[in-house]
Homo-oligomer: A and B are copies of this chain.
């Protein structure tokens, strides 16, 4: 179904295999999901994305669950089916309750609606919103 074969551990290059192992270690699971197995055809990109993802999603000024919910929101707006599924699962594993999920979707839907209205009306930005 993917545009490239998903690479098993045996089929992956040593560099890609090392990333798979790091994913397993950091996530404390034996499972490496399909995104990484597809990306493994470009081991340098695989390593880059995995490294960057860890930096970006780490606890900081925002907590990791908020970040996962933002990820769901962007993935929804961009229409990425895989990403909606994987990040909804990730958000749940980090504590997203059904009530939080419902409110998240209500905000995403509200934003989609007012984005469309503001674009159709071509509303000029208020001076006071300019920094």
Contacts and interface: CB of A to CB of B under 8 A. Distances in A.
Contacts of A87: 111
A25 interface: no
Interface residues of A, number: 81
Given A48-B52, A118-B35, A111 B83 contact: yes
Interface string A37-52: 0110110010011001
In the complex, the count of this chain's copies comes to 6
A77 interface: yes
A108 B5 CA distance: 20
Contacts of A106: 42, 45, 56
Given A42-B102, A126-B34, A74 B75 contact: no
A41 B102 contact: yes
